[in-house]
Structures are given as C-alpha cells and as structure tokens.
Amino acid sequence: MNILFDDTIFTPSEIQQEADQLIKKGAESSPSENLEIILKTRDRLKALKATEIKFSEPIMKQGENAVIFPHTINVIQGQAGVHKSRLAENICAAFLKSQSCNNELLGFKRQNYNATTTVLYVDTERNLTEQLPFALQSIQVKAGYSIAEHPENFDYCSLLQIDRKERFTTLKEYLTHKKQSTNNPLFIVLDVSTDCIEDFNKTDKSMELIDLMNIAVNEHDVTFLCLIHENPKSDKARGHFGTELMNKASTVMQVGFEKDANQNDTEIIRVKYLKCRSTARHTPFYVKFCKDAKGLILADASEVSGVINNRKHKASNDDIKEFIEMYLNDGTELTRTDLLDKLCKDFKASVRTIETRITEILKNDEQFYNKDGEPCRLSKETRDKTVFYKFITTEIF
C-alpha cells in the first residue's frame, strides 16, 4: 500500500529505505561526538605533557599522613557495627571545622583553610526521626557549631524513602542540582554506597554509580567518600560494586575491632589503610568509642599495645597474616627459613606452630593486599630444593 505525505506518494520500499538512512545517520553521529571528545582530551593531554606536572596537595590529613586528595574516590569499609559512619563524621567535621574550634577530630585536619568545601552527606540507612538528625548534629558540634545553626557549606539528604530501583537516578539528579547551586568544591559522602544502586551484585548497575563518580571527579571539583559493608567473616567489600570500587579508589580505610587473645572483640578499633594510591601505605591508627564524648576518640598507645601483645602469644592466623603482609607486600620473596625465623621471633612461637598457621592460610587461599592495595594471595613454590614464599596479585575474590 502506497502512502500519501505532503502531496507525494511513497512506496513501502521507499519508506524503508528512508528509515534505514535515518538510522544509519543516527548511528554515525554518536561515534563522531565521542571522537570529538577523545580528540579534545588528547589535545589537553598533549598540552599537559609539555609542562612540568604538579601533583595535587592533599585536602585532608590524619596526623602527618596525607589521606584524601582532590578529585578522588575514597572508601571506608568494614563489618556492620564497627563505627564506619562515626569515622566519616569526624572527616566531615574536619572539612567543616570553624576557625575557633579546638576539637581534635581523631587527628583529621583539613588542608588549606582558604578553600570552603561543601560537605554533602547522603544517607541510606538511618531513620529520619532520631538516628540521622543526631548524626548530623554530631558533625556540626564536632566542627564547632551549635545544633541550631545551619552552616551554608553543610548539606545532606536521605534516600531511605526512595524506591531502590529509583535511587541511582534520584541521586544523579540531586548531585546535578547541587553542583549547579554552588561553586564550592564538593565532598560527597555516600553512606552506604551499595544502597544507592538497585543491585550491587550486577555489573551494569554497579558501573552506573562507578561511572557517575569517575565523570564527576574528572569534570568537576568533586571528591567522594564511599562507605561500604564487608561480606560477613571476610574483608572483601560487598558485591561486584565493592570489587570495582576497590579498583577505582585512591584511599581505602578498613575499620574493625581488635581481637583479644581468645579472638573476642575488644573496645579498641583499628583503622587500617588497605590502599594509598598517592603515598606509601600508612600504618594503622587506633580509636575507641567513648560514651562521654558520644563518639570516637583516639585510643591510648598503652591500651593498644596491651591488646596486641596479649594476643600475639596465641599467634592467630589473622595476626600471622598481618606480619606476612608487612614482609612481602612490596614484592619481596622470602625463603621458608627466613620467613619462619622472622615470625617465630615476632610471636615467640615454635616453628611447628608458625608452619601450621601458614599451612592453614594457604589452604584457605586467604586474601592479602600489597603496598598498592591490590589483592594478593600467598604463594609457596620450590626452586632448587628451596621453598620460597611471595605474593601473587589476583582478582578480588
């Protein structure tokens, strides 16, 4: 059947031909736009390559350690209930801290007081009547404000009432809205980040948020802090999203309770750096929850050493792992004799005990991290009748 349009008669074959041409034209336009982006980026890289590169200074330190740098994605991970959010509260308060405030904030200090950073706290878990309002009050009080004040550079929202399928789209809309309403650098906290997407085990859903953050940190003055739960009885961040987040992150902090000699949780909380892309990997620092302060405070060195020394006599697998990681994380390999000698002295344990622990670690294929924060496993191999131990980089299990 022929079709009359604007006094012109078209046959079905002519209509199909016109449709094919339009589809082809549309398909060709998209790559050309992408090519234009690539060419512009190449020109920018060419100009930068011809100059002396000045690396960004940190925007947050903990003690003397540079922890957070601008235009980066950062992570706090840990099991449920280890005070990840309270650690994030101290970091937020350090960004918001008033000039007259003398609070220590676990040693976190914002760098460059001339820059006004807007903190945007995105929550997905806490109720809206008590828990989240109290957390927001806590941030303000730590930063030197009263609970009745409303600092212009402190913003917050909750995705709790948004259907999970719509959370990513809603978050994207809100971040666009926020970026259009301020010229300040943005420090965005996603607590918890896996709840911002429909399914953290699906590649496409996970990459939506990863891509959003990557674009934001490259095109705008934005820095992210993502809080994420670990899988039960594991130090792996949850799901495919956790795997990709670990790969993309610049700094990864792991929060967990220190164990006593019987492997029970103590009140001491260790903050361990799993990854520091811009610096050498920092040593851990230790905090504890204080009822009087209604938050975290730095733990005394004597408390920390007491817990660690008492536990070392047991030579648990986790403790053995800590020392193996210290010896091998820079690519070093050690002979069986050298590694056993070091560990026996560290733990004042017999060779048999240490060998048993290492055998269990190898059997369980347990995860380690090298100095770059990459996941590794312990490898044992024999060459010329000599046994060597080293790390082999792996995909995150």
Do 225 and 346 belong to one domain?
no
The total number of structural domains that make up the chain? 3
Between the CA of residue 176 and those of 71, 179, 213, what are the distances in Å? 16, 5, 12
Q: What is the pLDDT along the chain (397 residues), one digit of tens a residue?
A: 545 445 555 565 665 666 566 555 555 556 678 888 888 889 988 988 898 888 889 999 999 999 999 999 999 999 999 999 999 999 999 999 998 999 999 999 999 766 689 999 999 999 999 999 999 999 999 999 999 999 999 999 999 999 999 999 999 999 999 988 899 999 999 999 999 999 999 999 999 999 999 999 998 999 999 999 998 877 888 899 999 999 999 999 999 999 887 788 899 999 999 999 999 889 999 999 999 888 999 999 999 988 888 777 778 888 899 899 999 988 999 999 999 999 999 888 899 999 999 999 999 888 888 887 788 899 999 999 999 999 998 764 3
Residues 295 and 319 grouped into a single domain: no
Domain shared by 165 and 269, yes or no: yes
Any idea what the CATH number is for the domain that residue 174 is in? 3.40.50.300
In sequence order, what are the residues at sequence separation of 6 or more whose Cβ sits closer than 8 angstroms to the Cβ of residue 341? Answer: none
DSSP 180-225: HH--S-EEEEEETGGGGSS-TTSHHHHHHHHHHHHHHHHHSSEEEE
Distinct helix (H) and strand (E) counts, the chain: 10, 18
Asked whether residue 241 falls in the same domain as residue 293, the answer is: yes
Claim to verify: residue 250 and residue 379 sit in the same structural domain: no
Q: Do 259 and 355 sit in the same domain of this protein?
A: no
The tokens for 71 are: 């235009």
**Looking at the domain assignment, is residue 336 inside a domain?**
yes
**Residue 54 within any structural domain of the chain:** no
Which ranges of the chain would DSSP assign to H, the alpha helix? 12-49, 84-96, 131-142, 164-181, 203-219, 239-248, 301-312, 317-328, 336-347, 351-363
Are 197 and 254 part of one and the same domain?
yes
Residues 42 and 85 in one domain: no
Which range of residues forms the domain containing residue 129? 60-308
Same-domain status, 185 and 92? yes
Residue 28 in any domain: the answer is: yes
**Quick one: tokens of 97?**
């801290």
